[in-house]
């Protein structure tokens, strides 16, 4: 099954819920007027797109309807598709240009962070890259064990220490091994306990200091992993992590089987951060580079 088919299948609940609301609106409001726009605004808000983004989309749609003299429901849908594409069209190229490139992965516990690292490592390995993984979430013993399973499955080297070790020391050791083995990419896991924000901030700052000191010229990505099923809560997670790390992109997990796929638009629009990877299933190959056109096509 190709990515688009997986995405289409994953967004099925989101799409059918959205389509049903849209079709109801078009059957009740026969004319493309202000009443219809108010109804569409409500639909966008209740589809987890978020208040701010929904209002912006409807305002742009209103102007487009006037300018292009739109009168048909299908034209309104097409205009909405264009609005979605405009929001999502931020350059989402993964910067791996200067090796060894570093991908620092952050996110709260339970969003699929460890699994995502395994799948991303597997994908990059298939692209012919040599990968080292740093198990720097030393707070949770299960995280290291889980990461080791994924590293073995994808044939990547893993650097780990005993539970409660200093995460920055794990990263330092992983950098040393990355240099020694001439690896292309170092992927670092981190702890995800937002309730102890001060400690997390200090930990992330220390890790970043080590990376900057040891690999000053390397390409660097800081990716936040978000669970699509948490809807609007995902937006507040981005805001919290933005205070602790210079985020460069998003990895979206558990998009399959959620009716909250609309949150993708709110997250990108409110934070001006691109989605770099998207998880569309449980298997090791179910992690893909995000494609705006495919997403919009599968959504509406």
Residue 95 has what pLDDT?
96
Question: Lowest-confidence range among 41-55, 79-93, 152-166, 188-202?
Answer: 188-202
Residue 195 has what pLDDT?
58
Name 106's bridge partners: 224
Report the half-sphere exposure of 1 (CA within 13 A, side-chain side).
15
Residue 207 has what pLDDT?
95
Residue 13 has what pLDDT?
79
Residue 297 has what pLDDT?
87
pLDDT at 294 over 80: yes
pLDDT interval class at 257 (50, 70, 90)? low
Mean pLDDT of the chain: 90
Residue 194 has what pLDDT?
66
Q: In what order do the strands lie in the sheet with 249-253?
A: 157-159, 131-134, 185-188, 101-106, 220-227, 249-253, 275-279, 287-289
Task: Identify the top-confidence range among 3-7, 120-124, 232-236, 282-286.
Answer: 120-124
Residue 36 has what pLDDT?
92
Name 133's bridge partners: 158, 187
pLDDT interval class at 1 (50, 70, 90)? low
Output the pTM of the full model.
0.91
Question: What distances in angstroms separate CA 150 from CA 19, 40, 113, 139, 146, one per listed residue?
Answer: 38, 43, 12, 18, 7
**Where do we find the tokens 């995280």?**
143
pLDDT interval class at 258 (50, 70, 90)? low
* Mean pLDDT in residue range 262-281: 89
Residue 231 has what pLDDT?
80
64 Cβ contact list (under 8 Å, min separation 6)? 70, 79, 82
């Amino acid at each position: 099954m190709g990515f688009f088919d997986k995405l289409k299948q994953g967004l099925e609940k989101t799409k059918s819920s959205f389509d049903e609301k849209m079709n109801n609106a078009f059957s009740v409001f026969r004319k493309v007027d202000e009443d219809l726009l108010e109804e569409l605004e409500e639909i966008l808000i209740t589809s987890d797109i978020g208040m701010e983004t929904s209002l912006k989309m409807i305002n742009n749609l209103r102007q487009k309807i006037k300018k292009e003299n739109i009168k048909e429901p299908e034209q309104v849908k097409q205009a909405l598709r264009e609005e979605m594409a405009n929001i999502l069209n931020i350059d989402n190229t993964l910067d791996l240009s200067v090796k060894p490139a570093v991908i620092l992965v952050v996110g709260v516990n339970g969003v699929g962070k460890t699994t995502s690292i395994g799948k991303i490592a597997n994908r990059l390995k298939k692209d012919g890259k040599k990968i080292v993984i740093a198990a720097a979430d030393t707070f949770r013993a299960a995280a290291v064990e889980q990461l080791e399973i994924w590293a073995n499955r994808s044939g990547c080297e893993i650097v780990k220490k005993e539970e409660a070790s200093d995460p920055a020391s794990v990263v330092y050791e992983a950098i040393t091994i990355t240099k020694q083995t001439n690896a292309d990419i170092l992927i670092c896991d981190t702890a995800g306990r937002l309730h102890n924000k001060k400690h997390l901030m200090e930990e992330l700052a220390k890790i970043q200091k080590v990376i900057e000191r040891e690999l000053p010229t390397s390409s660097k990505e800081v990716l936040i992993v978000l669970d699509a099923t948490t809807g609007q809560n995902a937006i507040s997670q981005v805001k919290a992590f933005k205070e602790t790390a210079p985020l460069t992109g998003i990895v979206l997990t558990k998009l399959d089987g959620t009716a909250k796929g609309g949150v993708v638009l709110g997250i990108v629009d409110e934070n001006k951060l691109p989605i770099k990877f998207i998880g569309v299933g449980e298997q090791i190959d179910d992690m893909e580079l995000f494609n705006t056109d495919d997403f919009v096509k599968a959504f509406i």
